[in-house]
Amino acid sequence: MPRRKGTVIHKLPRCDEPRLEQFPYDHKIEFRKLLGQDREQGGVIAGHGYVFSVLIDSKPFALKMFKFYDTSDGRDPLTDDENRQVSDEIVEAHCDSFYAECRAYGRIKEKKCKRLLAVPCYGFLHVAAEEEERLYELFQVEDWNRQPDEHRQKPSDRSPFRALVKQLVEDDPPLNPRRMLAELRQLKKIGVHPMDVCMRNYKGGYLVDFSIAWTMPYFMTRFLSQRQLDSRLRRDLIDFDDLVKESGVRTKVRAATEPIIVRASETTGRITSNTDDIPKLRPRK
């Protein structure tokens, strides 16, 4: 759901925690470079959004700007009965890639872990829709998945872009599988399951992308058997082993033998853990 013009929101998503705080800034964003994109036939392709090297108040950051989300995309995999049990607000808060990252980083900040678990995120911000034309002129970026009726509006009336401000990481040191696995274990222990562990989602040896993460409590768990849930959550560990194998790094570190600690009742969907008290999911008024 796009933010209404003039609405001031200090934490997102607008449902129960975890939520991410807004990034404070007062000055214009200077776009310097489009990062990590594949160019095809003179244009740019992207998954859930685009990442730019920017200056905000003269300080360097990575700015991830997200495509707009259609709630029907999150409802398509559900049965009719499952769809009746979930509100649009919850589907959007859990499936929209922008909100998925807000929830993941919100949980990481909430737990205040001693070790660095991911490339730091400093908060969200909104970018004026008027920047759309300039981004196309500079970087040939044009696919934002806007609703068709917005294209008929003047830029000042369109929904603003949603974005996350992250630390700019420009180098990639050799992989450290033991440290990386320890961080992945800790993420899963606090209820953040990345669901897309692969080389492209690491930068500087740390995870940088949580756009399809399951951060507990997650609505889909209520529709899965315990066996199905364990299989879904174990996927991160299997993918981690594949990542290390493909990297060519010689190591005895293996992830796929790690136990899954999250438990969900097949009937109620309540989430429990033997390490953390995860809050019950409720729509936020």
Tokens describing residue 236: 């991160």
Count of residues making up the chain: 285
What pTM value is reported for the model? 0.86
Instruction: Reply yes or no: is the peptide bond before residue 18 cis, omega within 30 of 0.
Output: yes
What are phi and psi for residue 117, nearest 5 degrees? -100, -20
pLDDT tens series, the chain, 285 aa: 444 444 556 899 987 779 999 998 777 899 999 998 655 544 555 689 999 999 999 999 999 999 999 999 999 999 999 999 999 999 999 999 999 999 999 999 999 998 999 999 999 999 999 999 999 999 999 899 998 888 788 878 889 999 999 999 988 889 999 999 999 999 999 999 999 999 999 999 999 999 999 999 999 999 999 999 999 999 999 999 999 999 999 999 999 875 655 554 332 334 333 333 333 334 344
For the chain, the domains span 11-273
For the structural domain made of 11-273, what CATH number should be given? 1.10.510
Q: Which long-range contacts (C-beta less than 8 Å, at least 24 apart) are formed by 148-153?
A: none
Tokens describing residue 272: 């429990």
CB burial of 47-83 (b: ≥16 within 10 Å; e: otherwise) equals ebbbbbbbbbeeeebbbbbbbbbebeebeeebeeeee
DSSP annotation of 193: E
Rounded to 5°, the CA angle 269-47-99 comes to: 40
DSSP 54-66: EEETTEEEEEEEE
